Amino acid sequence: MLGLLFGIGLGITFGVNEDFFKEYVAQGVAAHPELHDAQSQAKIWRYAQRAHFHATGIATFSIGLLLLVVASGLKETFKKIAAVLIGLGCFYPFAWLSMFLLAPSIGTDAAHSHPTTELFTYIGTGGLLLGLAILLANLFLGLFSESNDRYQRRQRGQQKSDASSSPRFLPPVMASDQRLVKRDRDMSSSVTGIGT
């Protein structure tokens, strides 16, 4: 939701005062002409627009995924993990904003490979993809599922009740010993009956 608000807010700011952003770019390019070419201003302005597009797009997509997480059969723990990871996707638009802010003073290539830009990129895309992987593994493969746990607990409970209600089986040697004892008892009772 915060990502969506950021994207909408950035779009509103563009509408209210687009010249502020363009002047920021023009001043930076003028101060460091050795780092830029004729296309730099348009390219850097495009970074700000992409921050806006990605913020609203990823946020909307993430909200849809979060609704699927809530409706899925994931265990509660995995629902929380997937939701947090999907929520990290909102960091990706900040990579574009970082490039917009850094490029006028350090150049577009350096801004693209700057540690701040890369950090936002890896956190945003990595989190979103991992959260999506957990969700898809549950939806299509049944992994991390609450119902699987209930089924396994039910099976274990059934096995325990079967084991407690069924007669205990003796190993073959013990069983033959029991038969011998029974035969000896039968013989001794028949001998006692004959003597009377």
Residue 157 lies in a domain: no
Both 112 and 30 in a single domain? Answer: yes
Residue 37 lies in a domain: yes
Both 116 and 167 in a single domain? Answer: no
Both 112 and 186 in a single domain? Answer: no
Both 90 and 173 in a single domain? Answer: no
pLDDT-derived band at 180, boundaries 50, 70, 90? low
- 92 lies in which domain range? 2-147
The per-residue pLDDT of the chain, averaged, comes to 86
Name which of 17-21, 103-107, 149-153 the model is least confident about.
149-153
Residue 158 lies in a domain: no
pLDDT digit string, tens, across residues 114-172: 999 999 999 999 999 999 999 999 999 999 987 766 656 666 766 666 656 555 554 55
Sequence-distant (≥ 6) Cβ neighbours of residue 135 within 8 angstroms: 65, 68, 69, 72, 74, 82, 86
The model's pTM: 0.71
Both 100 and 191 in a single domain? Answer: no
Both 104 and 20 in a single domain? Answer: yes
Both 135 and 189 in a single domain? Answer: no
Residue 55 lies in a domain: yes
More confident residue, 90 or 2: 90
pLDDT-derived band at 4, boundaries 50, 70, 90? confident
Residue 135 lies in a domain: yes
- The CATH number assigned to the domain holding 64 equals 1.20.120
Both 19 and 49 in a single domain? Answer: yes
